[in-house]
Structure 1
Amino acid sequence: MRAVFLDRDGVICENRPDHVKSWAEFRFLPGALFALRRLAETPFPIVVVTNQAIIHRGIVPAEMVDEIHVRMTQSIQRLGGRLDAIYYCPHRPEEGCFCRKPKPGLLFQAAKDLGISLEDSYLIGDALTDVEAALAVGCQPLLVRTGRGALQSDLVPQRYPEVPIFRDLPEAVSWILRREARILLTRPLKVTDVPLAAPLG
């Protein structure tokens, strides 16, 4: 089963230089809620994977990050979207954990929990770390220019010229939906794809 993974800050919400420390500081990026509503119409799990070192830096407790995620999910649901799971890394970079992007630990955990085929999935991020986490597991990375992507959209093509770059989440989602439509059109028809006839009488 394929999935769509999303980074949080800089993809769904504004990426603050002093971090998103409370729900009062959380701001959805323009078009993000519309894009998530479009994704919700697909059968793919929608999974957030985000680094949140502010926890181990002692800036906010884990409970505050959890509250932000609950409120974010509720806001998305009210407008017809959905998030199926949220995974975050609380560690500082110097802790050397396996879950902090660009390490792929969050993706491996989600795949194990949700039965996701990583090599068939997508990851939309705004940073080189997102791209490298996706490539580490064979996932299709997409970079958006919102958040840190505005600064890294020149760096990524130098290292990974095959990675598509988009203005924002709505544009990236449109690309995924067009690509998926082509896959369905070109995929050989299987017997299981043909609906069974309803019994007569």
Structure 2
Amino acid sequence: MKLLILDRDGTLNRGRDDKVASPDEWEPLPGALEAVARLNHGGWRVVLATNQSGIGRGLFDMASLNAIHLKMHRLMAAAGARVEAIFICPHAPEDACGCRKPAPGLFHQIGARFGVPMTEVPAAGNSLRHVQAAAAAGCSTHLLLTGLSASLSGQSSVAIPGLPPGTQVHADLGAFADWLLAQVPPASKLPA
């Protein structure tokens, strides 16, 4: 199975300093839904791992989050894209849980649910927390220079503090999708 883990805010949609708290506030980034569609058509199953501390902080409730995700799924379907599952951490930072990124708990949950070793799963997102959690779980990591990381554009990956070694950097989700789809599978996995 070709499984891919993405972040949500700043990767698929515009992030907000005050949190995306309603469906009206969820706006896809240009080309992001089409990138997911290309990945799906290339055989990739896409899963989201997202911190949603707005729940733990009382900024919105689970019904609002479900309404946001319903809008996201509808827009994705219209673009020919699909997300298999959404794994969320609803906790506030002070809760010190094991699932809030940069902790790897969400990634371990995804691995258990899909039965895939995390070493075989690429993970892409726009925040250092996302790539740090992915690296801690054993995923190959990809930083997207959108949202929180847009200001890092033009920097060498070795100059980005906290970036896990070996992390590849891409301009956005579309550039990452192009890169991933261009990869040739190892000869041992090619059909005879």
Provide Cα deviations, 1:71-90, integer angstroms capped at 9, x if missing partner: 20121012211100001100
* TM-score, length of structure 2 as denominator length: 0.91
* Contact 1:3-1:117 at 8 Å conserved across structures: no
Q: Would you say 1:125 and 2:129 are equivalent positions?
A: no
1:157 shift after superposition = 2.9
| Residue 170 (structure 2) aligned to one of 159, 163, 166 | 166
State the percentage of identical aligned residues. 35
Q: Which structure has the larger Rg? A: 1
Give the aligned partner of residue 179 of structure 2: 175
1:156 shift after superposition = 5.7
Distance in 1 of aligned mates of 2:12 and 2:189: 36
Give the aligned partner of residue 53 of structure 1: 53
- Ranges in structure 2 where 5+ consecutive residues have no aligned partner: none
**Residues 155 and 98 of structure 1: is their aligned pair in 2 closer, same or farther, counting only changes over 3 Å?**
farther
1:2 shift after superposition = 3.6
* Contact 2:33-2:76 at 8 Å conserved across structures: yes
Give the aligned partner of residue 199 of structure 1: none
Helix, strand or coil: the match of 2:188? coil
- Ranges in structure 1 where 5+ consecutive residues have no aligned partner: 195-201
Q: Tell me the C-alpha RMSD between the 2 structures.
A: 1.8
Provide Cα deviations, 1:49-76, integer angstroms capped at 9, x if missing partner: 1000000100001111111112201210
1:128 shift after superposition = 0.9
* TM-score, length of structure 1 as denominator length: 0.87
Distance in 2 of aligned mates of 1:189 and 1:104: 28
Helix, strand or coil: the match of 1:55? helix
Equivalenced residue count is 188
Give the aligned partner of residue 89 of structure 1: 89
